[in-house]
């Protein structure tokens, strides 16, 4: 099989590619991977086994139609991770989010249609649903995104549906909760907190810290994406959940793992429009595709802290920006 992975130099995409090329995916021992990535501030070739004989990197933009029409022929499937992914950045300037996430996805789907690509997995997010006080969203819940990031991902998610419904393109969509693990850019909450603590600095906690998020190890998310690629139904959307924690509780666990206490927490003004709670019902992917997360949260968090402790050379050059954590 020949697989094209967009955004394969970012946090989740590179984990997916490393996993696939390591032989961890039964039936894909011979699969060739083309990573198509613009290498924005979030993309990094150091995340990839660049010398691997089954890996090719194409540096390029998902909005570049000519490049896609040249690159896609010969590929059997596409896994689409490429996106602008940081909510805070979308609050400061949403234009690149609309361009990459909405227009880029439409361009990719259209190019797949024109080059005969058999299957597309579009990696969406739980944030497309908005915020929920109680209970959990099933895949049939209306999309009510709140941040410009979530709105752009909802646009992409609906575009995927439209290309399936209108053109019969075989597209499946995943909507996963928050990921954590190695190689995540230190602008995001967990690596931001851990690298600050490792550097002896305070951690910025938004508002009252009672925002609820589900956390899933990136390896579990990538395993779920693989299941959807191999067995997912055309047109289906699959929620992928994690373990629910308040930001305050997550902060306590990270402090403990880094040997620090609450005196290192600096409360900061809440993010504009900050969603209170996300919660997905992921019965469908469990029942239909047999998905079960494998990494217990405490084990996964401890492993992530160890990774950031041991890989300072990877993250130190990336920590010179001064936004809040998201």
Residues carrying an active site annotation: 126-127, 149
CB of 137 to ligand NAD, least distance (A): 14
Which C-beta is closer to ligand NAD: that of 204 or that of 326? 326
Question: Is residue 250 near ligand NAD by the rule CB under 6 A?
Answer: no
Q: Determine which residue in the list 34, 100, 172, 196 makes contact with ligand NAD, applying CB under 6 A.
A: 100
Q: Determine which residue in the list 3, 4, 5, 7 makes contact with ligand NAD, applying CB under 6 A.
A: 7
Choices 132-140, 172-180, 244-252, 295-303; region in contact with ligand NAD by CB under 6 A = 172-180
Residues of this chain, 285-304, that bind ligand NAD according to CB under 6 A:
none
Question: Is residue 238 near ligand NAD by the rule CB under 6 A?
Answer: no
Question: Is residue 275 near ligand NAD by the rule CB under 6 A?
Answer: no
Question: Is residue 39 near ligand NAD by the rule CB under 6 A?
Answer: yes
- Please give the Cα distance from 312 to 302 (Å, whole number): 16
Residue 218 and residue 180 in contact, taking contact as beta carbons nearer than 8 Å:
yes
- Please give the Cα distance from 124 to 174 (Å, whole number): 5
Catalogue the E-assigned strands of 128-218: 171-176, 178-180, 203-206, 212-217
Contacts 24+ apart (CB under 8 A), 283-289: 283/138, 284/138, 284/139, 284/236, 284/238, 284/239, 285/224, 285/227, 285/228, 285/238, 285/239, 285/240, 288/233, 289/224, 289/227, 289/228, 289/231, 289/232, 289/238
Choices 31-39, 246-254, 270-278, 309-317; region in contact with ligand NAD by CB under 6 A = 31-39
Residue 107 and residue 68 in contact, taking contact as beta carbons nearer than 8 Å:
yes
Question: Is residue 326 near ligand NAD by the rule CB under 6 A?
Answer: no
Question: Is residue 119 near ligand NAD by the rule CB under 6 A?
Answer: no
SS3 276: coil
CB of 191 to ligand NAD, least distance (A): 11
- Please give the Cα distance from 316 to 302 (Å, whole number): 20
Chain residues binding ligand NAD by CB under 6 A are 6-7, 9-13, 37-40, 42-43, 61-63, 81-85, 100, 104, 123, 125, 153, 176, 178-179, 185
């Amino acid at each position: 099989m020949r697989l094209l992975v967009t955004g394969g130099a970012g946090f989740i995409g590179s984990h997916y590619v490393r996993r696939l090329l390591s032989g961890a995916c039964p039936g894909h021992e011979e699969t060739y991977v083309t990573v198509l990535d613009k290498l924005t501030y979030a993309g990094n070739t150091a995340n990839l086994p660049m010398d691997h004989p089954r890996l090719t990197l194409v540096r390029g933009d998902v909005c570049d139609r000519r490049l896609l029409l040249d690159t896609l022929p010969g590929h059997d499937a596409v896994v689409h991770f490429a996106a602008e992914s940081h909510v805070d950045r979308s609050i400061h300037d949403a234009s690149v989010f609309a361009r990459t996430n909405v227009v880029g996805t439409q361009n990719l789907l259209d190019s797949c249609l024109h080059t005969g690509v058999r299957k597309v997995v579009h990696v969406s997010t739980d944030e497309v649903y908005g915020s929920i006080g109680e209970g959990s969203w099933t895949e049939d819940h209306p999309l009510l995104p709140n941040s410009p990031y979530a709105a752009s991902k909802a646009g992409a998610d609906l575009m995927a549906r439209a290309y399936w419904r209108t053109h019969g393109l075989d597209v499946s969509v995943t909507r996963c909760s928050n990921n954590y693990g190695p190689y995540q850019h230190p602008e995001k909450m967990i690596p931001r907190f851990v690298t600050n603590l490792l550097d002896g600095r305070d951690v910025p906690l938004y508002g009252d810290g009672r925002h609820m998020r589900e956390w899933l190890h990136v390896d579990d998310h990538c395993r779920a994406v693989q299941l959807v690629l191999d067995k997912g139904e055309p047109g289906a959307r699959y929620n992928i959940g994690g373990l629910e924690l308040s930001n305050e509780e997550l902060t306590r666990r990270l402090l403990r793992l880094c040997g620090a206490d609450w005196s290192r927490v600096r409360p900061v003004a809440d993010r504009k429009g900050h969603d209170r709670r996300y919660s997905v019902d992921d019965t469908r992917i469990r029942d239909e595709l047999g998905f079960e997360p494998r990494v217990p949260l405490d084990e996964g968090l401890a492993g992530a802290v160890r990774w950031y402790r041991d890989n300072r050379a990877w993250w130190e050059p990336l920590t010179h920006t001064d936004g809040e954590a998201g």
